[in-house]
């Protein structure tokens, strides 16, 4: 047995290095056949295996000569006894696994790879290795069981790639154990191997992986549906040992995600891929079980990924296409899932979620003695639940509904969502800035935040088209505008809060544009197109941001509901949202708001002309942010400096014209006050302009938002973004053609300059 082990050890070292084997392939099969009989391994004794190994040792081929190469490191430590049957079986499985890995690796030398492939094919033909490994992974020895399952999974994948028919013994074994749920470990092993093989197929770069997966799934199409019904019909409270049920749930959830991913990305169509969409209530029932929080979290995230069609993206080699080809059957199934989500919310789904609990960390959820645990909500749950609802609403609206139906549904479900979120957001979400909920909930997760922003804008655009087609009266349009803010989905507010969270830093936007991990490009282009058409509304919202920040030093969502509530007894007073249609009417609302407030706003609010002066005065174009790309030559630097001086000259001229216009307009004011606009030490705020002038208002010296309006900072951020994109494109460093995006950004700048030019 000692000689047998030494030869096997030397074989392992050579395969680990990817070295070519010199001997005949059949000689190596002798050492790789699993060292046990074909009986159930759970009852096989060590003496039985030892006797088999003794027989193998006596009849080993004499032609095998596996001298260890001098370059090979000593990878195998002999900390175990050489006569250990268990260690020999583990070493056999390890050699098979490493050999399979070498076959699948592109780094293995071609001649060596062909030799390994020939050995594995002979091993599959000469012995019923599938059955033997199936027996072995039922062994009570966990390590032996795991290694056997991994080897079998790799061999199954190898047979699929080489177009070798799978043995009926293994297929029958899986079909038998998945025909109904049981607490046996066999179920988990079957699910794990099925998942492993599908993952390997997904990661394969060959063009035939769709056909390979189709061949693999065909025998299991019906049995998966049977197991789905059996597993989710379990009663959690009735199980003595819930750990096995939880393991089965987690394993099957991973398999279910891969099945749905194969439908989306590989365009396969099996009944088992539609199980979730045909019976979604089964999955929602699990979330209501008295089960561990991490299980509920996994299920909620899974449903979210299905609604966003994001399942399986981490397994797809290369970039996932942003725009998928139309798939009507999939759209029908997504609508069914979205309806199930909204129905669950109607039945109180959000109230069953355990938002508070032990913190989930890499080291576990137990807090060591003496360490303080800061209580707080599970933001993963908050984000997932929020995306579930707004994405379900978008899917439902896309599939046909009247404007009134959409408004009713939106108000009902957004009210439910905001009620659910408010207790968990600190500081609390105020009634006057409901659109801030999105940036507050998703601040820690960029990809989800942008998905939510894109979804909210999709809802807004769909409703806008419907309302424009049915509502012609100004009053109806004003009520519609009010609706967008009241339910927290106005796209301008959401975008402005996003910019405020990143400090109007154009480099962050550039990172988003370059990254393939978020949908920012799609969202940003759609928003810029909206901004071109809806500039007046955007400008009005910017003014409300400026006014509230200068007065209260807080953020607002374009309306101050508290003021509305204070004056609710007087029905003749105009609503602040009634003047959102045109930024020319903003001063009327400002006057009303100043009267309604407990303190006068006349010192914090300026007329539109004064706003234009302040922003023109701050249009000093000196860049304080550093260039994103180092210049190759001084000529590049000089070229940008020349362009910059031209921009300075143009903007300075605009500033002087605005100054003259405003001084002529407000020169007769009784309460003139000198205001020196000293620029702040802030990277995105210009520093050159320092011209004193008189206006009919008083602004705190330390309030940057009062000195430089939100609209200016937004356009300034866009301008810096343009410059960064130009520089990257000039050096061929931008990953795609940004021409259309640059045109949109330039058009926004033109609209802004036109609106700021004094008449």
* Coil, helix or strand at residue 605: coil
- Provide the token pair at 298: 């996994």
pLDDT tens, 349-370?
Answer: 998 887 776 555 555 556 566 6
Q: How far is CA 2 from CA 31, 32, 57, in A?
A: 13, 15, 8
Element (H, E) at 693: strand 693-695
Is the pLDDT confidence value at 424 over 70? yes
Domain assignment of residue 610, yes or no? no
Domain end position, chosen among 108, 134, 166: 166
pLDDT tens, 114-153?
Answer: 999 999 999 998 778 888 888 887 778 888 888 999 999 9
pLDDT tens, 246-294?
Answer: 999 999 999 999 999 999 988 888 999 999 999 999 999 998 888 888 8
Domain end position, chosen among 121, 149, 166: 166
Closest CA to 19 of 120, 115, 122, 96: 115
In this prediction, residue 186 carries a pLDDT of 86
Instruction: Give the structural domain span for 303.
Output: 168-317
In this prediction, residue 154 carries a pLDDT of 93
Average pLDDT, the chain: 74
More confident residue, 577 or 242: 242
pLDDT tens, 436-470?
Answer: 999 999 988 999 999 999 999 999 999 888 777 66
**pLDDT grade for 525, boundaries at 50, 70 and 90:** very high
In this prediction, residue 698 carries a pLDDT of 36
Q: Are 608 and 666 in contact (CB under 8 A)?
A: no
- Provide the token pair at 12: 């392992």
HEC letters along 399-416: CCCCHHHHHHHHHHHHHH
123 and 240 inside one domain: no
pLDDT tens, 99-119?
Answer: 999 998 888 999 999 999 999
Identify the burial level of 240 via C-beta atoms within 10 angstroms of its C-beta, where 0-12 means exposed, 13-18 middle and 19 or more buried.
Answer: exposed
Partners of 675 in beta bridges: 693
Q: How far is CA 116 from CA 11, 19, 102, 153, 203, in A?
A: 12, 10, 8, 17, 21
In this prediction, residue 735 carries a pLDDT of 92
- Provide the token pair at 719: 């301008």
Cβ-based neighbours of 376, under 8 Å, separated by 6 or more:
356, 359
Is the pLDDT confidence value at 431 over 90? no
Q: Please state which of the ranges 8-12, 62-66, 521-525, 612-616 shows the lowest mean pLDDT.
A: 612-616
**Number of separate domains in the chain:** 4
User: Whole-angstrom Cα distance, residue 316 to residue 463?
Assistant: 35
Q: Are 452 and 488 in contact (CB under 8 A)?
A: no
Domain end position, chosen among 449, 465, 488: 488
In this prediction, residue 410 carries a pLDDT of 92
Identify the burial level of 364 via C-beta atoms within 10 angstroms of its C-beta, where 0-12 means exposed, 13-18 middle and 19 or more buried.
Answer: exposed
* Coil, helix or strand at residue 503: coil
Element (H, E) at 694: strand 693-695
**pLDDT grade for 40, boundaries at 50, 70 and 90:** very low
More confident residue, 491 or 46: 491
Domain assignment of residue 584, yes or no? no
pLDDT tens, 627-656?
Answer: 334 333 333 433 444 444 444 444 444 444
Peptide bond into 427 cis (omega under 30): yes
More confident residue, 142 or 521: 521
- CA dihedral (681, 686, 690, 694) in degrees, to 10, reads -110
Domain assignment of residue 620, yes or no? no
Domain assignment of residue 656, yes or no? no
In this prediction, residue 109 carries a pLDDT of 92
User: Whole-angstrom Cα distance, residue 704 to residue 706?
Assistant: 5
753 and 738 inside one domain: yes
Domain assignment of residue 632, yes or no? no
162 and 172 inside one domain: no
User: Whole-angstrom Cα distance, residue 380 to residue 439?
Assistant: 14
User: Whole-angstrom Cα distance, residue 378 to residue 277?
Assistant: 27
Rg from Cα positions in the chain: 34
Phi then psi dihedrals of residue 435, to 5 deg: -70, -10
**pLDDT grade for 586, boundaries at 50, 70 and 90:** very low
Q: How far is CA 289 from CA 68, 245, 255, 340, 490, in A?
A: 57, 12, 21, 18, 36
Cβ-based neighbours of 309, under 8 Å, separated by 6 or more:
264, 324, 334
309 and 209 inside one domain: yes
127 and 197 inside one domain: no
Helix ranges (DSSP H) in 105-128: 110-126
174 and 156 inside one domain: no
User: Whole-angstrom Cα distance, residue 547 to residue 330?
Assistant: 47
User: Whole-angstrom Cα distance, residue 204 to residue 227?
Assistant: 28
302 and 182 inside one domain: yes
User: Whole-angstrom Cα distance, residue 339 to residue 278?
Assistant: 12
Q: How does DSSP assign 504-519, residue by residue? A: T-HHHHHHHHH-SSS-
Average of per-residue pLDDT across 541-557: 71
Domain assignment of residue 70, yes or no? no
Is the pLDDT confidence value at 45 over 50? no
Q: How many CB atoms lie within 10 A of CB 232?
A: 18
Domain assignment of residue 493, yes or no? no
In this prediction, residue 481 carries a pLDDT of 76
Identify the burial level of 465 via C-beta atoms within 10 angstroms of its C-beta, where 0-12 means exposed, 13-18 middle and 19 or more buried.
Answer: exposed
Q: Please state which of the ranges 51-60, 142-151, 185-194, 578-587 shows the lowest mean pLDDT.
A: 578-587
More confident residue, 603 or 1: 1
In this prediction, residue 367 carries a pLDDT of 58
Q: Are 221 and 272 in contact (CB under 8 A)?
A: yes
27 and 162 inside one domain: yes
183 and 160 inside one domain: no
In this prediction, residue 77 carries a pLDDT of 43
172 and 153 inside one domain: no
Element (H, E) at 389: helix 379-398
186 and 257 inside one domain: yes
Q: How does DSSP assign 372-383, residue by residue? A: -----B-HHHHH
Domain assignment of residue 279, yes or no? yes
**pLDDT grade for 402, boundaries at 50, 70 and 90:** confident
pLDDT tens, 168-209?
Answer: 888 999 999 998 888 778 899 999 999 999 999 988 888 788
More confident residue, 564 or 80: 80
21 and 135 inside one domain: yes
Q: How many CB atoms lie within 10 A of CB 288?
A: 15
DSSP letter at 33 equals S
Q: How does DSSP assign 317-382, residue by residue? A: SSPPPSSPPP-HHHHHHHHHHHHHHHHHHHTTTGGG---B-SPPBTTBSPPPTT------B-HHHH
In this prediction, residue 677 carries a pLDDT of 29
In this prediction, residue 246 carries a pLDDT of 92
User: Whole-angstrom Cα distance, residue 335 to residue 397?
Assistant: 10
Closest CA to 541 of 529, 555, 553: 555
In this prediction, residue 702 carries a pLDDT of 38
């Amino acid at each position: 047995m000692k000689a047998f082990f030494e030869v096997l050890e030397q074989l392992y070292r050579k395969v680990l290095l990817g070295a070519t084997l010199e001997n005949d392939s059949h000689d190596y099969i002798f050492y790789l056949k699993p060292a046990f009989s074909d009986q159930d391994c759970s009852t096989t004794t060590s003496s039985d295996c030892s006797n088999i190994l003794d027989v193998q040792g006596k009849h080993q081929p004499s032609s095998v000569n596996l001298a260890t190469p001098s370059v090979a490191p000593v990878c195998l430590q002999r900390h175990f006894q050489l006569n250990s049957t268990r260690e020999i079986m583990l070493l056999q499985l390890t050699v098979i696994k490493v050999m399979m890995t070498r076959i699948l690796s592109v780094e293995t030398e071609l001649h060596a790879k062909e030799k390994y492939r020939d050995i594995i094919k002979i091993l599959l033909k000469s012995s019923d290795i599938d059955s033997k490994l199936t027996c072995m992974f039922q062994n009570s020895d966990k390590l032996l069981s795991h290694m056997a399952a991994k080897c079998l999974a790799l061999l199954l994948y190898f047979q699929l790639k080489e177009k070798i028919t799978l043995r009926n013994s293994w297929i029958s074994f899986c079909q038998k154990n998945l025909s109904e749920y049981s607490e046996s470990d066999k179920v988990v092993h079957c699910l794990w191997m099925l998942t492993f093989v599908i993952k390997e197929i997904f990661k394969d770069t060959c063009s035939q992986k769709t056909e390979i997966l189709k061949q693999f799934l065909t025998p299991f199409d019906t049995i998966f549906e049977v197991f789905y019904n059996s597993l989710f019909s379990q009663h959690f409270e009735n199980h003595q040992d819930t750990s096995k049920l939880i393991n089965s749930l987690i394993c099957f959830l991973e398999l279910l995600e891969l099945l749905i991913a194969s439908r989306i990305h590989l365009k396969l169509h099996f009944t088992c891929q539609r199980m979730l969409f045909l019976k979604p209530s089964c999955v929602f029932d699990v979330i209501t079980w008295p089960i561990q929080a991490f299980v509920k979290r996994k299920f909620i995230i899974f449903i979210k990924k299905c609604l966003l069609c994001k399942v399986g993206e981490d397994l797809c080699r290369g970039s996932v296409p942003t725009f998928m080809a139309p798939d009507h059957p999939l759209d029908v199934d997504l609508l069914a899932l979205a309806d199930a989500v909204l129905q669950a919310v109607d039945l109180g789904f959000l109230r069953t979620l355990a938002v508070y609990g032990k913190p989930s960390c890499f080291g576990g959820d137990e807090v060591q003695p003496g360490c303080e645990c800061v209580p707080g909500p599970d933001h993963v749950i908050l984000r997932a639940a929020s995306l579930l609802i707004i994405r379900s609403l978008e899917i439902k609206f896309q599939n046909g509904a009247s404007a009134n139906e959409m408004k009713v549904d939106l108000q009902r479900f957004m009210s439910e969502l905001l009620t659910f979120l408010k207790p968990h957001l600190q500081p609390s979400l105020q009634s006057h800035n409901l659109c801030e909920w999105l940036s507050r909930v998703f601040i820690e997760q960029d990809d989800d935040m942008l998905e939510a922003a894109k979804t909210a804008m999709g809802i807004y655009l769909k409703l806008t088209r419907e309302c424009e087609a049915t509502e012609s009266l100004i009053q109806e349009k004003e009520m519609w505008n009010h609706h967008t803010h009241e339910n927290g989905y106005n796209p301008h507010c959401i975008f402005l809060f996003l910019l405020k969270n990143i400090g109007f830093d154009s480099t962050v936007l550039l990172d988003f544009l370059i990254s393939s991990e978020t949908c920012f490009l799609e969202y940003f282009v759609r928003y810029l197109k909206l901004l071109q058409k809806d500039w007046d509304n955007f400008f009005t919202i910017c003014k409300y941001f400026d006014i509230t920040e200068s007065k209260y030093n807080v953020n607002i969502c374009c309306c101050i509901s508290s003021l509305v509530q204070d004056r609710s007894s007087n029905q003749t007073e105009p609503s602040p949202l009634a003047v959102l249609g045109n930024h020319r009417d903003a001063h009327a609302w400002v006057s009303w708001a100043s009267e309604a407030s407990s303190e006068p706003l006349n010192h914090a609010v300026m007329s539109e002309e004064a706003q234009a002066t302040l922003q023109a005065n701050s249009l000093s174009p000196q860049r304080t942010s550093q260039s994103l790309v180092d210049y190759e030559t001084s000529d590049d630097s000089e070229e940008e400096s020349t362009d910059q001086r031209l921009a300075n000259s143009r903007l300075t001229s605009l500033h002087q014209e605005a100054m003259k216009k405003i001084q002529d307009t407000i020169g007769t004011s009784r309460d003139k006050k000198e205001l020196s606009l000293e620029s702040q030490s802030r990277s995105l705020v210009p520093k050159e302009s320092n011209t004193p002038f008189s206006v009919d208002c008083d602004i705190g010296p330390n309030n940057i938002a009062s000195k430089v309006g939100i609209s200016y900072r937004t356009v300034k951020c866009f301008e810096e973004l343009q410059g960064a994109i130009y520089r990257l494109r000039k050096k061929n460093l931008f990953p795609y053609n940004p021409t259309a995006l640059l045109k949109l950004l330039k058009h926004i700048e033109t609209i802004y300059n036109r609106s700021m030019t004094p008449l």
